[in-house]
């Protein structure tokens, strides 16, 4: 099964991605996590993308497409995968289509902006595992510590309020056109497109997505 999770920053793509990937035993391919890993490693790629990410802009299509092409060659992708945060522009989606990669389903998660801002402002992450918490909605067992390793949680540089607003603007201008792009693909019978209201509990949202995926 090959799935794309589409939606603005903070709608819960990463959170739902983990549930879906566990359920279907497929890898989560998060371009955001891959880029953050390269920043942490201090690689040339990391040096190139850090400032762009910190300001809430998008990394170039060229870099992202190369990154994804390499990732999906790995053995764990043979039975499928879930893209979380990719594609994010029309050229990225076209690059995917040009590779003859058959996507089964695009799931769009929708949440109002005020709720997104509160979700992102309260988010804390464990960088090395990508585990995500929320200070109120999903707090760690011990304040500011990852449940499994006890290591400190951090606030992402791009989760400051001004940067969140910038990311939402970038989403509206550069990523939202993909809604129409993939709805058209559904009309052509190429894939299934499902839009879900993300303003519900973690579990209820997952249940709704699961009912849809199990019918595919
Ligand atoms: P990326 O890491 O992909 O960030 P994003 O798309 O902005 O998404 P987020 O990780 O912020 O949010 P999410 O939807 O995963 O929400 P989450 O589940 O964490 O990208 C970062 C940057 O990398 C980009 O800005 C760009 O620079 C670059 N980049 C990445 N991919 C790129 C690409 N393809 N092209 C170009 N550049 C790229 O949830 C958020 C919070 O809400 C958490 O605290 C969570 O606990 C809480 N929460 C989740 N669900 C619920 C719920 N149902 N109820 C209450 N709270 C909830």
- Cα–Cα–Cα angle for 94, 105, 95, nearest 5°? 15
Q: What's the pLDDT tens digit per position in 102-115? A: 999 999 999 999 99
Residue 88 known to be catalytic: yes
Q: Is 78 a catalytic residue?
A: no
For 181-210, what is each residue's pLDDT tens digit?
999 999 999 999 999 999 999 999 999 999
User: What is the C-alpha to C-alpha distance for residues 83 and 31, in angstroms, rounded to an integer?
Assistant: 8
Question: Ligand 1 centroid vs 19 CA: distance in angstroms?
Answer: 15
Among 2, 36, 119, 123, which one carries the catalytic annotation?
A: 123
For residue 131 and ligand 1, the question of a CB distance below 6 A is answered with no
Q: For a substitution probing ligand 1, which of 6, 9, 56 has the most ligand atoms within 8 Å of its CB?
A: 9
CA separation for the pair 115, 209 (Å, rounded): 20
Counting runs of H as helices and runs of E as strands, what totals does the chain give? 9, 7
13, 36, 119, 131: the catalytic one is: 13
Q: Which residue, by CA, sits nearest to atom 29 of ligand 1? A: 32
> Which residues, 6+ apart, have CB-to-CB distance to 62 below 8 Å?
none
Specify whether 13 is catalytic: yes
From residue 107, alpha-carbon distances to 35, 155, 204 in Å are 23, 27, 15
Is 128's pLDDT higher than 90? no
Choice among 2, 36, 124, 167 that is catalytic: 167
Residue 66: the pLDDT is 97
pLDDT, tens digit (0-9, with 9 covering 90-100), for 23-80: 999 999 999 999 999 999 999 999 999 999 999 999 999 999 999 999 999 999 999 9
For range 208-215, the mean pLDDT: 97
């Amino acid at each position: 099964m090959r799935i794309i999770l589409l939606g603005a920053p903070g709608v819960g793509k990463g959170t739902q991605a983990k549930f879906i990937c566990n359920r279907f035993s497929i890898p989560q391919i998060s371009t955001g996590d891959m880029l953050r890993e390269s920043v942490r490693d201090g690689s040339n790629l990391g040096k190139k993308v850090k400032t762009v990410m910190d300001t809430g802009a998008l990394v170039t299509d060229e870099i992202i497409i190369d990154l994804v092409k390499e990732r999906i060659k790995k053995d764990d992708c043979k039975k499928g995968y879930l893209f979380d945060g990719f594609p994010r522009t029309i050229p990225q989606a076209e690059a995917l289509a040009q590779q003859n990669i058959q996507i089964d389903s695009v799931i769009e998660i929708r949440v109002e902006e005020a709720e997104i801002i509160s979700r992102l402002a309260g988010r804390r992450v464990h960088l090395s595992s990508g585990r995500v918490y929320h200070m109120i909605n999903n707090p760690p067992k011990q304040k500011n510590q990852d449940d499994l390793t006890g290591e400190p949680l951090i606030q992402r540089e791009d989760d400051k309020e001004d940067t969140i607003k910038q990311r939402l603007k970038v989403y509206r201008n550069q990523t939202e056109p993909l809604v129409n792009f993939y709805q058209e693909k559904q009309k052509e019978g190429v894939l299934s497109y499902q839009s879900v209201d993300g303003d519900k509990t973690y579990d209820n949202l997952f249940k709704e997505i699961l009912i849809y995926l199990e019918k595919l």
